[in-house]
């Protein structure tokens, strides 16, 4: 494990007064003196409680977890290693060592797998199913199985974080980080962690439907530069299939009922042509991406 003075414990918060003091104290008890709480203008005394517990507190200039994390690491973190976690008391401070150990073994990014030891009541059935679907979709689209891409428990080198291109301001930050790890070949591993229910009186800031939709859109949008064949091919396939379906309907109506549907036929042909063009574009984009990756690998080998 890196020495504690080389690690910054980063805790983005918003209205976590019920838990933040215990969270800060737990990590300080584990020997981590550098605890940075970046707060999204809480109104329940979160900042004061964090400071009293020994944390350095910064108020973020914008809004959202993603913006808070980027601002904290770019402007306030100077340590070589970062251990990021939520301030809701759901993660175990004693897991810090096994989260950080891989960083001294050549890994640049570590994801804590909440499903390895999820305590009863820690996640609703809806959220559990949604997480499973999102993880399967990520593995299919981006070709890496990180088991729990939505985990807020992350350990990484500051340098690897700064190499990422991150734009999400909200809870999509974890998804973006996972995609960037897969896209850039950042050496990533997953370790089992314990995940607890939120304590009574601590309310979640997540909306399963809204934030789930944002995460799915982020997965698809990021496929544009990491898996263009899927990005363009999925739309192309849908357009082609729709066009073929309409064409079969027009043919059936013409043969069986002698009824012509000229407008539908034109729409059918347009859908097929558009879909085939997208499929071809996806194949070409995938080829260009493969060549680009090969060239970048050769450049890295020469360096």
CATH number of the domain at 217, please: 3.90.550.10
Cβ-proximal residues to 79 (8 Å cutoff; 6+ apart), any chain: 5, 6, 7, 8, 34, 158
**Which is more confident, 218 or 72?**
72
Query: What residue has token string 């974080």?
Result: 161
pTM confidence score? 0.82
Structural domain range at position 114: 4-226
d(CA 184, CA 40): 30
Give the relative orientation of helices 228-257 and 208-226 as an angle to the nearest 10 degrees.
Answer: 100
Residues 45-102: pLDDT tens digits?
Answer: 999 999 999 999 999 999 999 999 999 999 999 999 999 999 999 999 999 999 999 9
Query: What is the total residue count of the chain?
Result: 303
| Chain Cα centroid distance, residue 33 | 28
End-of-domain residue from the set 185, 202, 226: 226
E strand or H helix at 275: helix 262-302
Which of 180, 174, 178, 172 lies closest to 212 in space, CA to CA?
172
47 & 27 share domain = yes
End-of-domain residue from the set 200, 226, 252: 226
The domain tally of the chain equals 2
Q: CB-hemisphere CA count at 13 Å for 197?
A: 8
68 & 210 share domain = yes
> In the predicted model, what is the mean pLDDT of residues 219-236?
85
Residues 159-217: pLDDT tens digits?
Answer: 999 999 998 888 789 999 999 999 888 999 999 999 999 887 566 666 667 777 778 78
d(CA 115, CA 129): 12
**Which is more confident, 261 or 161?**
161
Residue 276's pLDDT is what?
Answer: 93
For the record, the structure tokens of 166 come out as: 């991150």
123 & 181 share domain = yes
């Amino acid at each position: 494990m890196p020495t504690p003075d080389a690690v910054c414990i980063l805790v983005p918060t918003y209205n976590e007064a019920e838990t933040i003091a215990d969270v800060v104290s737990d990590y300080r008890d584990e020997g981590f003196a550098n605890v940075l709480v970046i707060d999204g203008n809480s109104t329940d005394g979160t900042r004061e409680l964090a400071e009293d517990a020994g944390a350095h507190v910064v108020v973020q200039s914008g809004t959202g977890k993603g913006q808070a994390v980027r601002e904290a690491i770019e402007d306030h973190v100077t340590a070589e290693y970062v251990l990021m976690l939520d301030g809701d008391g759901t993660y175990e401070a004693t897991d810090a060592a096994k989260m950080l150990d891989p960083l001294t073994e050549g890994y640049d990014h570590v994801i804590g797998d909440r499903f390895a030891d999820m305590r009863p009541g820690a996640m609703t059935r809806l959220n559990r199913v949604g997480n499973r679907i999102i993880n399967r979709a990520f593995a299919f689209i981006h070709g890496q199985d990180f088991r729990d891409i939505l985990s807020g428990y992350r350990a990484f080198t500051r340098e690897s974080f700064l190499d990422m291109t991150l734009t999400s301001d909200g809870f999509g930050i974890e998804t973006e980080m996972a995609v960037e790890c897969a896209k850039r070949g950042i050496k990533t591993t997953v370790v089992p962690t314990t995940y607890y229910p939120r304590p009574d009186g601590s309310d979640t800031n997540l909306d399963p439907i809204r934030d789930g939709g944002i995460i799915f859109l982020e997965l698809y949008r990021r496929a544009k530069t990491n898996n263009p064949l899927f990005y363009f091919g999925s739309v192309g396939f849908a357009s082609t299939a729709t066009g073929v379906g309409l064409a079969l309907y027009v043919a059936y109506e013409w043969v069986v009922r002698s009824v012509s549907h000229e407008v539908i036929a034109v729409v059918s042909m347009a859908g097929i042509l558009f879909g085939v063009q997208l499929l071809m574009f996806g194949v070409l984009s995938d080829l260009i991406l493969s060549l680009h990756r090969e060239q970048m690998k050769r450049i890295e080998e020469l360096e």
